[in-house]
Amino acid sequence: MDGAVLPGVVLLGFMFLMLACGVWVALSLLSVGLIGMFVFTNSPAGPLLATAIWGSSNLWSLASLPMFIWMGEILFRSRLSDDMFEGLVPWMTRLPGRLLHVNIIGCGIFAAVSGSSAATAATIGKMSIPELKRRGYSERAILGSLAGSATLGLLIPPSIILIVYGIATDQSIARLFVAGVLPGVLLVAMFMGYVIIRALIRPQEIPPLKEDYTWRHRLNSLKRLGPVVCLIGGVIGSIYSGIASPTDAAAVGVFLSLILAYASGDLTKATFVDGLMSATRTSCMIAFILAGAAFLTMAMGFTGIPAGLARWIASFDLSPYALLAVLTVFFIVMGCFLDGISVVVLTTSVIQPMITAAGIDPVWFGVFIVLVVEMAQITPPVGFNLFVLQGLSSRDILYIAKSAVPFFLILCLAVVLITVFPGIVTYLPEHM
């Protein structure tokens, strides 16, 4: 065993002990970094701590994070999300599964303007759960489709986790955003395919159609979808066309969100302040975690632990596929106890040397991590989507988790597909 492995295991054990005791993730990261510096190196911990925190905070690319979060908060408090739901209904009634597809498409659309899995679950869930239950849909089907589809908020740009990963690994956020498009579309298609198959096998779960929507109704419904589509076009289109960087596009998104919320009559002083404060709290939490992760990464570099762990794992002579299989299990287990952002920042300093040594594309690996973290969002005990849906439905966590099992398996299949066919992820970044 490499000499750096034992110190790594000790520090990892100490970190899990602190997390189990309820210590903030950011403070746990800082503490482990300080202990590693004091015990295993002779380097000056204080100046390095100040340098790491300042360096992780003084990044222009980081400015996109609070603005994308604020954009999601504005939409969460406006009727635009309700309009989006109602605008989708007439288009889904002829598909097997009918309005369950509204959950999937709605989550996909909101993910493109939110970037947060929990915000997507809360926004779509608060509209669809009471409405679909009133129409007689199976509660298990409703909650399962919501839990699975809300994970799209982590993958479809602008993804907050992809921003965090890009900052932590010094990768282009624009390339990461582009890389997430085709996998996101693939997941939407796979989720809808499963709902169609399930509806054909269990037709009793789908109530009979009560409304008869004509093409006139469908065309009129586009008026409700228009504002959200324009917002997506303004944000995502400006990035893909090269007109704006992700940071500039985030500012465009906030501006358009405020305009649309004002035009709909939902932008009041109270909603503005609530959205701003909520976005500030979330952004500060993430920035604090990133600062702790930056110092831990620097500390681990001085101790030589990541390189030692990479050499140790390399000694097993694992193929890239075997390495990815091991990492998949590792990330799922980590995700059962930590939120997705914490998983990414905790593991980057250790995992990145292994990925580089194995010749794996770091942009592809970013999408891979997001897909695996998506699985953890719907697995107990710390599946954040499960907590959100529990609050909306009053069902226990295990009931919702069982409902989400098919979507968990679909995510597993998606990981297999992008591993066997990496072009699903890399094609657009290579041709942008």
Percent of the chain with pLDDT over 70: 88
Q: Select, from the ranges 45-49, 56-60, 213-217, the one with the highest average predicted confidence (pLDDT).
A: 45-49
Query: For 243, phi and psi rounded to 5 degrees?
Result: -70, -40
Across 101-122, b (16+ Cβ under 10 Å) vs e yields bbbbbbbbbbbbbbbbbbbbbb
Sequence-distant (≥ 6) Cβ neighbours of residue 215 within 8 angstroms: none
pLDDT digits (tens, 9 = 90+) for 63-82: 777 887 788 778 777 777 67
Query: How do residues 25-56 score in pLDDT, each as one tens digit?
Result: 778 878 888 888 888 778 787 888 888 778 77
Neighbours of 17 (CB within 10 A): 11
Report how far residue 419's alpha carbon sits from residue 24's, in angstroms, rounded to the nearest whole number: 34
From residue 412, alpha-carbon distances to 171, 394, 408 in Å are 25, 28, 6
CA end-to-end span of the chain: 44
CA distances from 231 to 111, 131, 222 (A): 12, 25, 14
**pLDDT averaged over every residue in the chain:** 80
Q: Convert the pLDDT of each residue in 315-362 to its tens digit.
A: 777 788 888 888 888 787 776 656 677 777 777 767 877 788 788 899
pLDDT at 157: 77
How many Å is the Cα radius of gyration of the chain? 22
How far apart are alpha carbons 257 and 342 in whole angstroms? 28
The answer on pLDDT for 313 being more than 70 is: no
What tens digit of pLDDT does each residue of 278-288 get? 888 877 877 77
Indicate the pTM of the whole model. 0.74
- Contact between 238 and 252 under an 8 Å Cβ cutoff? The reply is yes
Q: How far is residue 366's CA from residue 161's CA, in Å, rounded to a whole number? A: 9
CA-wise closest residue to 195 among 129, 107, 96: 96
**Average pLDDT for residues 397-402, to the nearest whole number?**
84
